[in-house]
Amino acid sequence: MIYQGVHRLKGAGLGRLTALLATLAFVLLFAWPHPAGAGQEGFDPWKLNWVDPWAASQSKVPEQPLNSSTIPTLGDAGFWPLLRAVSMYEQIRDWGGWKAVPAGEKIEKGQRDHRMALIRERLLATGDLSASNGDPQLYSDEVYEAVRRFQRRHGLAADGIIGPRTIQAMNVPVEKRIAQIKLNLERLNEQSGKLGKRYIFVNIAGQEVEAVANGRVEMRRRVVVGKTDRQTPEYTSAINYITFNPYWNVPQSIARRDIIPKVQRDPGYLKRMGIRVLSGYGPNPREIDPYSVDWSSASAQSLRLRQDPSRRNSLGTVRIHFPNPHAVYLHDTPSKSLFSRVTRAYSSGCVRVDQVHDLVEWLLQDTPGWDRERIDRVVQSGENTDVSLAASVPIYMMYLTAWVSEDGAVNFRDDIYSLDRQVHAASVGG
């Protein structure tokens, strides 16, 4: 087994991993509608049409096709290509790396710009551009496709426009990319135990989920992860049950930071959102009229808020559970437009899954009686329903900012939580 040899290097750190590279041949891898009567007697919040509050708040980006590779990111299939990528980038460093591209106006296909010669050289260095022909200052069709390839593997909108974010990614020094690859190689090496015949992998930095069976990715979906101040944690557990049409028991931290300030500005907010105010827990908690509460008082923060199942429910139509001390889970969302964003760090720590019913069907395929028809029927019923999996499915939530896809492209993602930077600072300081 590959990892048996690699594990012997763990005590010696990355220096020994780099030494292992010497034995490898160099491989080029390449807002809500709010009627005036809201909050007044007789107002029916359920007659309002759902409006995705994110749909019009930001301009849409070009649709990014999901990686269709069946090769999983974890395990041997992900480890060895990333190890070879270190060799590739060290060779680029030895060849002189690349020069920085000056900032300036965005460049679009067909335009001429004095920076294009440097951009061509930069794309040639990492194999995004195979050859540089013609006018060196012209943004040609050939270079346009190379730029789009570069953008895709760096998690940028593949629109071919050379703007500030694309130039910023081009200007990351090769030494920093080498350090980034090595750090993620160590992360993969740490997750080197038996992954299981079927498992779920959530790449937090990559903002995707993989469903893997028998060493093949059977499904990939986009996910929305936690904001920088409410980070999705790295954790390993096992999915054991699923809730359809869930209630959302609002965590006190979210109630304090998000919901109570909205109620203070708009007393009708809770009713519109289908959120009840409860006193205590248990099967029959006492419900409190939200208009009778002084929401500016400290005691208001101790009240329990629970959102009923509905199309407005923050968890959408399904919640996927796995034991963890962080109170996080995978779930649906009514705000579907977020999945079209290139960067998807918007949640309060839980993971929202695009087309989540596909993932639920995959998870329940070994649970008798739960085919897609029944899943859809239960969702449509609106009834709160728990289903235990016949066999739990391992879930690995990891923060990977570098990996290699099936076509050999070395992928990089932004260090959205600054975890790479913290590790680098600790290694320099230590």
Instruction: List active site positions.
Output: 331, 350
| Intra-chain end-to-end CA distance of the chain, in Å | 32
Amino acid (1-letter code) at residue 130: S
Six token digits for residue 253: 């931290």
Segment 110-114 long-range contacts (CB within 8 Å, at least 24 positions apart): 110/138, 110/139, 111/138, 111/139, 112/137, 112/138, 112/139, 113/137, 113/139
3-state secondary structure 365-404: CCCCCCCHHHHHHHHHHCCCEEEEEEEEEEEEEECCCEEE
Rounded CA-CA distance 31/57 in Å is 9
Rounded CA-CA distance 427/90 in Å is 20
DSSP state of 62: P
Six token digits for residue 129: 């551009």
Spell out the residues 6+ positions from residue 427 whose beta carbon is closer than 8 angstroms to its own.
none
Are 106 and 9 in contact by the 8 Å Cβ rule? The answer is no
Segment 264-267 long-range contacts (CB within 8 Å, at least 24 positions apart): 264/295, 264/296, 266/34, 266/39, 267/39, 267/291, 267/295
The DSSP bridge pattern shows strands 216-226 and 351-353 to be antiparallel
Are 24 and 185 in contact by the 8 Å Cβ rule? The answer is no
Rounded CA-CA distance 236/395 in Å is 6
Six token digits for residue 18: 């780099």
Rounded CA-CA distance 423/52 in Å is 38
